[in-house]
Structure 1
């Protein structure tokens, strides 16, 4: 049996009981380590699981999947995935490879940013298409995400923007020369994400995003509390795009980061819940009322 097991969002203890039982029954345990990261190292996982964990990078998962599947028709093998196996990044390819080899597959689900984003108070029913935002280069600035955001906003829906990470990436020169030399890990910050979004808005000029009147919510390390690994914790900050761009990077907490662009179907309860995290409550409520049409006065909360 091939088990594809979601690990959740934070540390080694987020695995489900069913997932832990599958890990303990497995002869080999792989950790998919390129589409996202867990906030603890593999040694913490090994100590908790009582199993050796083999790190599976992009090359192994995409081009050497047979190594993972080897013997899985006769014994249990586990592939661990941060979040949920079919969350932000699906793993359909390895499932299809297993099926074609006659290997049974069982998927064990867990929390991912796709549902844990509700921690900021926005209703999951009000989300549209999620988009990914990659690091821009001088010669490569893909903007297909803009069209998805425009479609969501046209329907009044929120947009979850997943920010890029670069783990075990090669420079163009090293890639061209076939040298297995990797760049240091990089994680997109909220200010950089906002800057890229507004750069594309300035180029496209379709009035989809406005620095002063588009509300957004930044999230980091969702699901972690103060007692988490390395004393990290969940952080939520909301305001206009302009306000978020002006905050120091440390105000958003440690990576991984995500950003939500607020749609016009904003409910007044969403506004009231999220204002606890606002850069400026007065601006948050004013824009929600004047631009998004939320009726808030009868539910006014005391100022702190």
Structure 2
């Protein structure tokens, strides 16, 4: 059996009781932290709390050479991820690979940032459309810097349809964890390059360290939010479409948003 268990958002105690019981009954426990990360804990604390040795996997161990799943043909194996394990396409692919090998699988869900953002900001879940990720710019072998404009197009398209966009921020082994400020800077750069004047007068909501006892939630016009200090990772960004009056009130009262959005 291969058990996919979502760990939740912030520390080792975010896991469900069902997830914890499954870990304690497992023969072996694997973990990947490259799609997300729990900043309120570390491997040592997790091992102490779960009572199991944790084997950390690299990206290539999950996406390219997941030979370790063969152990689940004979043993009870657990695969741990941050958030909810089935939100990432990579993990769906891994489950399909296991099924194709005749391995039984199970999923034990954890809290997801996709729903946590709605709870923390008051933005209504059903009004979110296609999400997007802002990747770090990269430099080609010829020295040209490439900036993906896909996130900008997704945000603009959603907005024009009256819908919100959840914007994930890149995690890179070398460049680290993208901040809300860096993500907004990239969007501003695209906006300036294209001369569309779409971004700066829009409201955005930044969320830092969701799942902790003291998350930071701040809404403001992008031109001002870009200078707000959100502190340490993880960060995520939401850019709403036109607001329902309850959403506008929520952003003022829950996310310290400007009262002008109530007009």
Give the TM-score of the pair, scaled to structure 2. 0.92
| 1:217 equivalenced with 2:205 (yes/no) | yes
The CA distance in 1 between the partners of 2:113 and 2:80, in whole Å, is 16
Which deviations, in whole Å up to 9, do the C-alpha atoms of 1:277-297 show, x marking residues without a partner? 556x5xx232452xxxxxxxx
Which structure has the bigger radius of gyration?
1
Matches within 5 A, 1:148-159: 148-159=154-165
Tell me the residue number matched to 2:105.
105
Corresponding residue to 1:270 among 243, 247, 258: 247
Which deviations, in whole Å up to 9, do the C-alpha atoms of 1:211-235 show, x marking residues without a partner? 1x2001000111110xxxxxxx311
Give the match's secondary structure for 1:70: helix
The CA distance in 2 between the partners of 1:107 and 1:201, in whole Å, is 41
Give the TM-score of the pair, scaled to structure 1. 0.80
The CA distance in 1 between the partners of 2:98 and 2:261, in whole Å, is 51
CA displacement at 1:91 relative to structure 2 = 0.8
Tell me the residue number matched to 1:95.
95
CA displacement at 1:162 relative to structure 2 = 0.4
The CA distance in 2 between the partners of 1:117 and 1:218, in whole Å, is 9
| 1:257 equivalenced with 2:257 (yes/no) | no
Give the match's secondary structure for 1:10: coil
CA displacement at 1:107 relative to structure 2 = 0.9
Tell me the residue number matched to 2:191.
201
The CA distance in 1 between the partners of 2:240 and 2:56, in whole Å, is 37
CA displacement at 1:123 relative to structure 2 = 1.0
Higher RCO structure (Cα 8 Å, ≥6 apart): 2
The CA distance in 2 between the partners of 1:277 and 1:237, in whole Å, is 8
Count of residue pairs brought into register by the alignment: 256
CA displacement at 1:253 relative to structure 2 = 2.4
- Seen in structure 2, the aligned counterparts of structure 1 residues 80 and 159 have a Cα distance that, compared at 3 Å, is same
- Seen in structure 2, the aligned counterparts of structure 1 residues 5 and 91 have a Cα distance that, compared at 3 Å, is same
Q: Say if 1:88 and 1:114, in contact at 8 Å, map to a contact too.
A: no
Tell me the residue number matched to 2:142.
none
Which deviations, in whole Å up to 9, do the C-alpha atoms of 1:61-103 show, x marking residues without a partner? 1122112x13212221000010001225551221121111100
Tell me the residue number matched to 2:219.
238
Which deviations, in whole Å up to 9, do the C-alpha atoms of 1:157-176 show, x marking residues without a partner? 11111011113xxxxxxxxx
The CA distance in 1 between the partners of 2:98 and 2:105, in whole Å, is 7
Tell me the residue number matched to 2:114.
114
- Seen in structure 2, the aligned counterparts of structure 1 residues 137 and 63 have a Cα distance that, compared at 3 Å, is closer
Q: Say if 1:223 and 1:234, in contact at 8 Å, map to a contact too.
A: yes
Tell me the residue number matched to 1:76.
76
The CA distance in 1 between the partners of 2:51 and 2:249, in whole Å, is 45
* Gapped regions of structure 1 (runs ≥ 5): 168-182, 226-232, 290-304
